[in-house]
Amino acid sequence: MAVLIDPPTWPAHGTVFSHLVSTSSLEELHAFAAAAGIPRRAFDEDHYDVPERRYRDLVARGAQEVAGADLVRALIASGLRIPARRRPPKLRAALLARWEALLPGAPGLGGELLDRWAEAHRAYHTPAHLLAVLEALDVLLEPADDPLRRPVLLAAWFHDAVYQGRAGEDERASASLAVQRLEGTMPDAAVRDVERLVLLTATHDPAPEDRAGHLLCDADLAVLAGAPEDYARYAAAIRAEYRHLPPEAFADGRRAVLQRLLALDPLYRTARAQVEWTERARGNLAQELGSL
C-alpha cells in the first residue's frame, strides 16, 4: 500500500501540477488527501492534481516520489486507472450519442440526466456506471428483445438519476422523475413500464417471466462479476459515497447489502449472465464480505 506523487511538470492555471495516486484504493487516496488539506475538487477520477507549492509537504507527509511514467505504470497495475474513454468530456460525448440514438429530438433531457449522474457527491453512481450498464445491455440484449430494447435502455438512463444514498427512496424518486420527463414523449403504457423497471433496481428481484426486468437488473449487477482490480475499484467507490459514515456503521450496512445479494437465487436471471458472470460475482461478493 502506498501513495505516490510524480514531479510537478504538468502546466495549468499559471503553475505546474503533480499527480497524487494510491496503489491500493481510492479510500486510502481520499484519506491521505483529506489529512493533507487537499480539497475534493482536486480529485480527477483516479488521481488528485496538486500544485507545485504542495509537493514537498506531501512528500514529507509520506507520499513516495516517483517518475511520471512509473506513477502511470503503478496506477495501471493497481487496477485503479480510469481509461481515457471513461473520462469527461469523451465519456459525456459517447453517452450523449447513445441518448440521441435512443430518444432523438430530446438532447436537453439527455444533458439533464448526465448532469445528474455527474453530481459532485457521487463516486460510484456516475456516468461511468451508466456507460457500464449500457455496455452490459449491449451484451445481454438479443434480437428477440427488440420490443423491450427502448424501455430497458431508458430505465438504465433513469435508474440512478436521483442518488442521495437512500436505498428505496432514490429508486422511487428516479422512477418519478422518469414519469415526469417522459410523459408526452411516448405512450403512457411505455412510460409506466420504464417506471416499473426503475423501481425494480431497488431489489434486483424481478419476477420469473419478466424478461425486461431480468435484462436491466443483470446489467446493473454486472459490476459484481468484474476482474479483481475492477471489483476493488467498485468497492472503494461505494465506500467513498458513504464516507460520512464511521467505519463500523458502514461495515454493518455493507454487510447487509452483500448478504442480500448472495441470497438472491439466482443472482443473475439471463442465461448469458448466469453462465459468464455468476461464479466470479459470487466469489467477489464472498471475498468482500469476509473482509468486513
One-letter amino acid identity for 169? E
Contact of 3 with 64, CB cutoff 8 Å: yes
Q: Per the omega criterion (within 30 degrees of 0), is the bond before 89 cis?
A: yes
Contact of 197 with 157, CB cutoff 8 Å: no
Cell of 269: 436471471
Cell of 67: 517518475
**Percentages helix, strand, coil for the chain, rounded to the nearest 5?**
65, 10, 30
In tens digits, the chain (292 residues) has pLDDT values of 699 999 998 888 888 999 999 998 999 999 999 999 999 999 988 899 999 999 999 999 999 999 888 898 888 888 888 876 667 778 898 899 899 989 998 889 999 999 999 998 999 999 999 999 999 999 999 999 999 999 999 999 999 999 998 888 999 999 999 999 999 999 999 999 999 999 999 999 999 999 999 999 999 999 999 988 889 989 999 999 998 899 999 999 999 999 999 999 999 999 999 999 999 999 999 999 999 8
Contact of 29 with 8, CB cutoff 8 Å: no
Q: What per-residue confidence (pLDDT) applies to 13? A: 81
Domain boundaries, the chain: 3-81, 86-291
User: What is the torsion angle, in degrees rounded to the nearest 10, for the CA atoms of residue 88, residue 92, residue 97 and residue 100?
Assistant: -170
CATH 1.10.3210 fits 86-291, yes or no: yes
Q: Which residues pair with 48 in a beta bridge?
A: 20, 43
- C-alpha count within 13 angstroms, C-beta hemisphere, residue 104: 1
* Cα–Cα distance for residue pair 269/247, rounded to 1 Å: 33
Residue with C-alpha cell 449491449? Answer: 138
pTM: 0.74
